[in-house]
Amino acid sequence: MLDGWHEFYGLLGTGAAALVALLFVAASIGASVMTHTPESANNTRTFMSPVVFHYTNILFLSLIALVPTLSFEIFATVVGIAAIGSVIYSMAVVIRVHKNPLADTADRFAYGAIPAVCYAAGLVAAVFLFERSVIGLDILAGAALLLLVVNIRNAWDLMISLARSANRPPPSQS
């Protein structure tokens, strides 16, 4: 059933890998504006870490989907286990984003709620896949694609934040 999806997952995984690599480059360039304060560590955990996690998750899904000898039951099981862990992680992110004073409504949806919904859809897809229903493939593809698009938005939001931080004048010392 996955034969027709080879190009989709190949492109999805390539895009996720390239974007996470670019994020690492941008973060290393912007490292000078990241301070070693507890607030900065919290913001990194709240905003940067989920973006890396989601890109890695998309890459993992794509690689698993491209394994030619993987049985459909094993594929469904791996997708389901990954989705359960990702839902749990996403719920922790939802809580962190909601508590963060820097987060606006768009951030609460893009960093928190939408990824959680995508992973929940991945869990639903795994159930359909385990039953060998082809609708599971469509649900999984839609969830992965939405997660990639939202993550592109989040990476852009991070880079804009880093650029703004880099251009702020240093606080004056009295």
Structure tokens at 108: 């609460």
- pLDDT at 45 (0 to 100): 66
State the amino acid at position 132 in one-letter form.
R
Q: Which class for 46: exposed (0-12), middle (13-18), buried (19 or more C-beta within 10 A)?
A: buried
pLDDT 10s digits, 110-135: 998 999 999 999 999 999 999 999 89
Q: Terminus-to-terminus CA distance in the chain, angstroms?
A: 68
- pLDDT at 6 (0 to 100): 86
Q: Where are the domains of the chain?
A: 3-164
User: Are 136 and 128 a contacting pair, CB within 8 Å?
Assistant: yes
Q: What is the pTM of this model?
A: 0.84
Whole-number mean pLDDT of the chain?
86
Q: Average of pLDDT values for 134-162?
A: 91
- pLDDT at 21 (0 to 100): 86
Task: Count the neighbouring beta carbons within 10 Å of the beta carbon of residue 80.
Answer: 18
- 21-25, 76-80, 128-132, 167-171: the lowest-pLDDT one: 167-171
Whether residue 91 has pLDDT greater than 90 = yes
pLDDT 10s digits, 27-61: 676 655 555 666 655 666 667 889 889 999 999 99
pLDDT confidence band for 102 (50 / 70 / 90): confident
